[in-house]
Structure 1
Amino acid sequence: MKQHIRYFFTGLTVFVTMDHLSAQERTITLGEAVRLAQRQSFEYKVALNSYQSSVWSYRNYEASFRPMLYLDGTIPNYSRAINKITLPTGEDAFVQQNQAYSTLNLGIRQNVGLTGGVVSISSSLNRIDVFGNDRQIIYSSIPASISYSQNTIGYNPFKWRKIIEPLRFESADRTFITRMEEIGGQTVIYYFDMLAAHARQELARQNLAKADTLYGIAQERFKLGTVAQSDLLQLRLNVLNAQNQVTKDSVDAVLARQHFARYLLLPDEQGWQLTVPDNVLFMDINVDQTLAHARANSKQVLDFRLQRLEAEQHIAEARAENNLKFNVQANFGLSNTAPTVPALFNQLENQQNLLIGFSLPILDWGLAKTQRLRAEANLAMVESQIEQSEMQLEQEIALHTARWNLHRQQLTVASETQEIAERNYGLEVERFLRGSIGINDLNIAQTQKDNATNAYIDVVRTYWELYYTLRRLTLYDFEKNKKIVFQIDTIK
């Protein structure tokens, strides 16, 4: 069969490029076309940009669990105004103030994934400048301070991020690979669209040449009285129809070539040609095998898990928000105030702060309950959607696997049918020339030949479409027996 494919398409490949010959033409195979599309097409660029965005999002998540060194301050905060202040006696008075307040803070902050809180170590220096007749400068500092804060006890957003974010990044990686396989499948469509269009054009030109020849012979025989006028008119009609078909198929061939070139972003010059793939290889694939690879590698299966986890996170958050809540803030450090900076470090005093707050809804008219029930209903809905999607995925995989296993026989039948139709048409032409059959029988044989040729190309196309469909659904290379991966070197 493989040898027949090679012989059949040799003439087609020559014709595909007959109108675009140049001094030196580059031959593009299907495999090369797929690789080009997966490295330079617009779809590849969109997929790559989306993947890069996911990479930066994941790196942002990783950075959020690393210590952050920060420096902030105000230099200065100057004010000259009459303000109301409270005197030591407890009375309020309006006092004219002319002063500047400056502050500088240096610290390290760290998110604590185990508890969901934030711990920080900081050092601060403050200065007050009083202007006017009684100019003064006062410093205060906290050389060292350790603090811990946590908004909610009972719900840890960091824990959920550590579970979800790695899965989300893995989903982005699988999404990129899936898009690469989709690009491969789309390339197959454009590739065979061009081959099929040029095959139809070649058949139309062959039919026109044959119709011209038969019409010329019939004209001579009509003069001798051996061909009826109705047959002569029918042959003339065949010539006209063939001319129209050549025009139509030529336009289709040009459009198909343009679509293919645009998809792969090939240069405008016509110095390239296509070759029909003859490396048809049928691997033994069963449903259990494809389902196992899909469960292990498929983006959809991973997305099902992510949807379930996100719904469970919303339930945990709703329960924590609507039950007894605690928040904690604790601080321990050293502090002092002095008129000069060196004096700040003499006789440091302890500084402590502890705050434990709580909140308990007593009467909320069912608000907490409805929020919790809504989150639980959303989880149930997600579970149902996941179950339905998993069933659809399994059915799709089973369908394409069955089509793959049956396609070997279809390719064999199409190959033999095309060969028989060609031979039969040649015999019918000879019989027509001998006068054994009429023009209608000849037209039927020609139609059968053309249909068999086009059907054979469609069967070869279907093979490659099934090949890339199974790869996309499972992200598995059945030919090399390994998981599909793509190396991306553009992200630093």
Structure 2
Amino acid sequence: MKKRLPLIVIFSILFSYANAQSTSRLTLKEAIHIALENSLDYKIAVNRARSSYWNYESYKAGFLPKLSLNGTLPDYYRTINSITLPNGQNNFVSQNVANSGINLNLSQNIGLTGGNISVGSSLRRIDNFGNFKNTLYTSVPLTISYRQNNLFYNYIKWQKKIEPLRLKEAQREYLENLEDISYNTVNYYFNLLFADIQLKLDQQNLRNIDTLIKTTQARFEIGTVQLNDVLQSKVSLLNAKKAVANSLLSLQTAQQNLIRFLNLEKVEELEIELPDSITFFDVSPAAALEKVKSNRKFIIEFQRRRLEAEQAVAATKSETGPSISLNANIGLTQTGNTFQQSYSDPLRNQSITIGFNVPLVDWGVNKSNRKRALANLELEKNTITQQLLSAEQEVNYQIMKWSMQKEQMEISKEASHLSQQRYDIALQKYSVGSLNYTDFNNAQLDKDRAVTDYINNLRSYWSLYYLIRRLTLFNFESNKPLQITDHLFQ
């Protein structure tokens, strides 16, 4: 259960953020929710996920039978062609011919062997319109064919190993993209929050200095302060006015950046709340690394890259070594002057072609290609090992920061409370003339730094919160893995 931390007592700015109930204000959780439904980053992530899903569906469809129908109705030509007569002489003959044909084919890839088997049927008709008019039919009622380019290399076997990994990789990449969106939302949100608080700090300081400069001037006239204090207070007034102008520009810029990131239309201003309702939970490095190895995309990516490197080695060996190809066909065929005759008493139609290729002399080209493929495989293995170690180091570092964050929040909260008390006392002392302006100014600077330090620590908390989710794809607060809740991969 979440435990709401007591609000830091700084001054009215933070109280207004914590206690205001305006319905027009935007909380951090609401901003993240909007970003995960409406931002351009989300739409890009969805489209990438859908593309990966349909790529996998296309791959699976490659193992299903494909039925196709094609033909020519008709192929007509009238021309004079050179032909070879039975006696071996060449002659020019006028031809007026129309060819028509239709083919029905059912084919399927065979994953076990890497070949393709097909079953087909075809019919062809030739019409001669010249001096010797006739019509001829040729039919193939049934034919069964098998083709395989290389008996020693099965491309389909490798794809069956690699393509499912691509889909898993895309699923985890989608989850990581969502966590990236949450993490980026935190940055944009706190940019606006920091700018807004800084503006209020500067405005309050300007009001205080404007009031105190009159007191300083009056005390100078009666001789209780020196001219240096008067001059210093006037310089502080000018600096305060400059700070307000700069803070206003920063606020407008941060506000527009958040609006654009959330892809909000017809929104000119946003009021945001202080996200100080936080929960700390323990995350051990060992548990985090276990979730990383179970959930992260790059673990699947490493497996895929290694398989692709091994596939490249196998393909190179098949291309540079002996190879055997196979084309076989068996079926029935017949011809006749009528449609019925072309299907009567069909004859056997069969063929088989076995081809081979054996490299004999290539002056070391094939050997070099094989060695390069093996070297690339070893390079990929070493690169994967190095990247895995870097990922583990990153996780350990972020978990260490998280374990220290609770103490950092408590320290910054206490420092803010003490600096606010010191500022209040300094303001009272300066008003009655028992404190010089330099000491008062230092108290004001310390108070402002304490406020911004608290906000920065709060920002670090939420950044680490979503960064750990992104690094592990696991919600340690609810002790549940992150899962895809839509139907992109179904």
Correspondence for 2:55: 57
2:288 to 283, 287, 290: 290
More displaced, 206-215 or 374-383? 206-215
Question: Does 2:325 correspond to 1:327?
Answer: yes
Q: Deviations over 1:162-219 (max 9, x none)?
A: 1111111111111111111111111100100101001111111111111122122223
426 and 75 in structure 1: CA distance in 2 versus 1, 3 angstrom threshold: same
Contact kept, 8 Å, 1:6 with 1:278, in 2: the verdict is no
2:146 to 126, 145, 148: 148
173 and 10 in structure 1: CA distance in 2 versus 1, 3 angstrom threshold: farther
CA distance in 1, matches of 2:295, 2:11: 36
1:479 to 464, 477, 480: 477
Contact kept, 8 Å, 1:15 with 1:198, in 2: the verdict is no
Correspondence for 1:431: 429
CA distance in 2, matches of 1:453, 1:81: 94
Structure 1 residue 243 displacement after superposition: 1.5
Structure 1 residue 221 displacement after superposition: 2.4
**For 2:383, what is the secondary structure of its paired residue?**
helix
372 and 13 in structure 1: CA distance in 2 versus 1, 3 angstrom threshold: farther
297 and 15 in structure 1: CA distance in 2 versus 1, 3 angstrom threshold: closer
Contact kept, 8 Å, 1:155 with 1:320, in 2: the verdict is yes
Question: Does 2:353 correspond to 1:355?
Answer: yes
Contact kept, 8 Å, 1:26 with 1:271, in 2: the verdict is no
Structure 1 residue 380 displacement after superposition: 1.0
Contact kept, 8 Å, 2:8 with 2:413, in 1: the verdict is no
Give the aligned residue type for 2:298. Answer: Q
Correspondence for 1:253: 251
More displaced, 214-223 or 84-93? 84-93
Contact kept, 8 Å, 1:25 with 1:273, in 2: the verdict is no
- Give the 5 Å matches for 1:65-214: 65-214=63-212
**For 2:7, what is the secondary structure of its paired residue?**
helix
CA distance in 2, matches of 1:276, 1:65: 55
CA distance in 2, matches of 1:59, 1:91: 58
Correspondence for 1:470: 468
Contact kept, 8 Å, 1:25 with 1:271, in 2: the verdict is no
CA distance in 2, matches of 1:470, 1:260: 23
Structure 1 residue 13 displacement after superposition: 7.3
Give the aligned residue type for 1:229. Answer: L
Contact kept, 8 Å, 1:16 with 1:198, in 2: the verdict is no
Aligned length: 488
Contact kept, 8 Å, 1:286 with 1:401, in 2: the verdict is yes
CA distance in 2, matches of 1:462, 1:205: 26
- Give the 5 Å matches for 1:213-362: 213-270=211-268, 272-362=270-360
7 and 433 in structure 1: CA distance in 2 versus 1, 3 angstrom threshold: closer
TM-score (norm 1): 0.94
Over the aligned positions, Cα root-mean-square deviation in angstroms equals: 2.1
Contact kept, 8 Å, 1:82 with 1:97, in 2: the verdict is yes
More displaced, 273-282 or 455-464? 273-282
Q: Deviations over 1:239-264 (max 9, x none)?
A: 22211111111111111111111110
Q: Deviations over 1:318-374 (max 9, x none)?
A: 111122211111111111111111222211111111111111111111121111111
TM-score (norm 2): 0.95
9 and 129 in structure 1: CA distance in 2 versus 1, 3 angstrom threshold: farther
296 and 491 in structure 1: CA distance in 2 versus 1, 3 angstrom threshold: closer
Give the aligned residue type for 2:440. Answer: L
- Give the 5 Å matches for 1:332-411: 332-411=330-409
- Which stretches in structure 2 are left out of the alignment for 5+ residues? none
CA distance in 2, matches of 1:236, 1:151: 88
Q: Deviations over 1:130-183 (max 9, x none)?
A: 112321000010111111110111111111111111111111111111111111
Correspondence for 1:5: 7
CA distance in 2, matches of 1:334, 1:42: 60
CA distance in 2, matches of 1:92, 1:190: 84
CA distance in 2, matches of 1:216, 1:366: 93
1:488 to 467, 478, 486: 486
Give the aligned residue type for 2:127. Answer: D
CA distance in 1, matches of 2:216, 2:41: 55
